[in-house]
């Protein structure tokens, strides 16, 4: 896993703990389809069920939305297994 360290200055009236900021970032990354529920739960050190409940509450996603997203990821994963991504020639240049 890649590690990214961020330092962010927030205004004094924005009282967030480090955990609250981390949670907000992980939820947004999930919302933008950059993280799975499993990985989000792992990063926040909570169960997947707790993470899904958090998603439902904070992101206004219903269980049906989450199920639809899960099914879409499964289909995409199956597609990748059938059609592997071709490696690019190291000497090729992208214009």
In a domain, 5, yes or no: no
- What is d(CA 51, CA 38) in angstroms, rounded to the nearest whole number? 8
pTM score: 0.59
pLDDT digits (tens, 9 = 90+) for 57-67: 877 767 787 77
What's the confidence (pLDDT) of residue 68?
A: 81
In a domain, 12, yes or no: no
In a domain, 22, yes or no: yes
How many domains are there within the chain?
1
Q: Could you tell me the pLDDT band of residue 54, with boundaries at 50, 70 and 90?
A: confident
Domain that holds residue 62: 18-81
What's the confidence (pLDDT) of residue 42?
A: 94
In a domain, 10, yes or no: no
Smallest CA-to-CA distance from 72 within 80, 84, 82, 83 is with 80
In a domain, 48, yes or no: yes
What's the confidence (pLDDT) of residue 45?
A: 96
In a domain, 53, yes or no: yes
Question: What average pLDDT does range 61-74 have in this prediction?
Answer: 76
In a domain, 90, yes or no: no
In a domain, 1, yes or no: no
């Amino acid at each position: 896993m890649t590690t990214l360290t961020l330092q962010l200055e927030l205004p004094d009236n924005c009282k967030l703990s480090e955990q609250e900021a981390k949670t907000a970032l992980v939820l947004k990354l999930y919302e933008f389809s950059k993280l799975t529920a499993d990985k989000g739960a792992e990063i926040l050190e909570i169960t997947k069920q707790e993470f899904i409940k958090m998603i439902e509450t904070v992101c206004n996603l219903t269980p049906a939305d989450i199920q639809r997203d899960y099914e879409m990821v499964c289909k995409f994963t199956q597609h990748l297994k059938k059609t592997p991504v071709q490696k690019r020639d190291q000497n090729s240049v992208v214009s």
